[in-house]
Amino acid sequence: MLNDYTPADVSGVGNNCLFQSVSVALYGSEKYYVQLRVRAAIEVAIHRQWYDTTHGDYCAPFKDEPCIVVPNYGDLCRVSE
């Protein structure tokens, strides 16, 4: 694996390590992690039917996958229902 890939170090402060890692993979720098995090939040907010298991049109491709646990949408978005 190390012949094809190079390990990268990210600062991993708080809950941002995933977005920092993606930023390094996509752009070669951690500095875009906030933009990626905001885009992920917008995706979840705009496409509720993909992320809310109680939505009438819930159609996520992983809805029948028992290994994937989807959080409560209200908790995910911190919205009051």
Q: DSSP states of 18-37 as a string?
A: HHHHHHHHHHSSGGGHHHHH
pLDDT tens digit sequence for 27-70:
999 999 999 999 999 999 999 998 898 888 888 777 788 888 88
Please write the tens of the pLDDT for every residue from 8-23. Answer: 888 877 788 999 999 9
How many domains are contained in the chain?
2
Enclosing domain of residue 33: 1-46
Chain-centre distance for alpha carbon 62 = 14
Residues 60 and 36 in one domain: no
What are the CA-CA distances from residue 52 to residues 18, 43, 44, 77 (Å)?
Answer: 22, 12, 9, 10
Residues 53 and 35 in one domain: no
Q: Are residues 40 and 52 in the same domain?
A: no
> Is 70 in the same domain as 80?
yes
Residues 69 and 59 in one domain: yes
CA 2 → CA 5, 8, 20, 25, 33, distances in Å? 5, 12, 21, 16, 25
Regarding whether 42 and 13 lie in a shared domain, the answer is yes
Amino acid found at 19: F
What pTM does this model have?
A: 0.75
On whether both 30 and 57 belong to a single domain, the answer is no
